[in-house]
Amino acid sequence: MTSKLTDSFRSLRLIPVPFGEYQGNNPDTPPIMINFRSPDLWRTLPIEFTDNEGRLFTDRATICKLSKVCADKVENLEKAGQELVIRLNDITCDAMERVLFAICPTIYGQYPVPPTVFDVGIICPVACSLQMDMVIKMCEKVLENDIHPKLTPIDLLINSFSTAYKCQLKSTLQAKLFIKILKCEYWKLKYSLIRNIESPCLRIFLWNFREMSRSIIHSKKTLRGKCYVRSRKSWVGEGLDPPTKELLRLCIYNELLFSHVTITVQTKIYKATCDQCEENTAYITRVDGYHIRTAPKKLFLCQQCNKALCSNCEATFCVVKLIEFLEDVHRAEKSPDILKMLNTLVVLNSPDHDVARALVNIH
């Protein structure tokens, strides 16, 4: 029985090293997982944290090659003749340890541990703080390839977008993640999830989007079944100064805000396939295994994103408009009076016990 289990584990093992050999039994074989909390022959550079919660040890060449901040710290310590110890502020020991897992030889001292979508929220802020461009690009690739709108839970989707917006990753990536949030059913956008977004303006916007979507769906039900619908007033900007009025535009949602601006073109003249369907690899697979593309009779050419769209994709959100919107939000939130202006807008347009008032100042 033991030999069968051993053979089974050998067949499942992905890394080609002698099975069952640990450092305690064989000093010539590295451990399965490197312990960054203790030094060895190569990991001699200590990393300390302000809260004194622990010490990490890493390879000097690796950390200085990947982090501009750490390279400057080591260079300044050498010039001053001080002890080579990297001291980091506002970074936890656990978060930095997860970054070391991703960039250093960790498994059997040879292979790093690639990050997942669950790790990006921890790794990416540290990488931005330490100016680790390679790690930032790696996080962008993970979010681009591993986030599926239908399979990813809404809480993970919101946290991924919040990380991308906070760390200012690629604008196209931010827009696509935000589109996936807007495509969710309104009842999934709960207060407990929206409050996790770092941006106060986007928190108010998403709550207004949720309430607008709920109102539209219930209004359609009213026409069919004459059910009761709670009335919702539109937000107004009367009596506000110009900066606050401009902020109002970034807090309210309407159905035409992110829609494509299109003209109709014939497929025989322009092209035969939809650009968005090509991007999403939306193919119909036949039983015999061949892939055929859907060929619409006419296409809609968007004047904003310059894409030829079928009727289904034409009804979706325009990425270019989302990018411009998120850039405007990021620019507006640089103002030191952003919370004061948002609070003025919310008090003017929402009742006393509306959830929007609690979303202004959270973080």
Q: For the chain, list the domains and their CATH numbers.
A: 22-140 (3.30.710.10), 147-255+321-358 (no CATH), 262-316 (no CATH)
Q: So what's the pLDDT on residue 14?
A: 39
Write the DSSP assignment of 239-301 as a string of letters.
T--HHHHHHHHTT---TTSSB--EEEEETTTS-SS-HHHHHTT-EEEPTTS-EEE---SEEEE
Q: So what's the pLDDT on residue 15?
A: 38
Q: So what's the pLDDT on residue 29?
A: 55
Q: So what's the pLDDT on residue 114?
A: 87
Q: How many CB atoms lie within 10 A of CB 35?
A: 14
Could you give the angle at which helices 154-166 and 117-129 cross, rounded to 10 degrees? 10
Query: What's the token pair of residue 115?
Result: 């990050």
Residues lower than pLDDT 50 in the chain: 1-2, 4-6, 8-25, 282-290
What is the separation, in whole angstroms, between the first and last Cα of the chain? 56
Q: Return the bridge partners of 58, or none.
A: 45
Q: So what's the pLDDT on residue 268?
A: 63
Q: At 111, give phi and psi (nearest 5°).
A: -120, 135
Cβ-contact 94, 56 below 8 angstroms: no
pLDDT in tens, 197-216: 989 999 999 999 998 888 87
Q: How many CA atoms lie within 13 A of 181 on its CB side?
A: 27
CA distance 308 to 266: 10
Question: Which is nearest to 309 in space by CA: 351, 342, 353, 264?
Answer: 264
pTM of the model: 0.81
Q: Which own/partner contact pairs does 326-331 have at CB distance under 8 Å and 24+ positions apart?
A: 326/165, 326/171, 326/174, 326/175, 326/178, 327/171, 328/250, 329/199, 329/201, 329/202, 329/205, 329/250, 330/165, 330/168, 330/199
CA distance 327 to 202: 12
Q: So what's the pLDDT on residue 178?
A: 95
CA distance 359 to 210: 13
Cα torsion 103, 106, 109, 112: sign: negative
Cβ-contact 197, 203 below 8 angstroms: yes
CA distance 28 to 17: 12
Q: So what's the pLDDT on residue 319?
A: 92
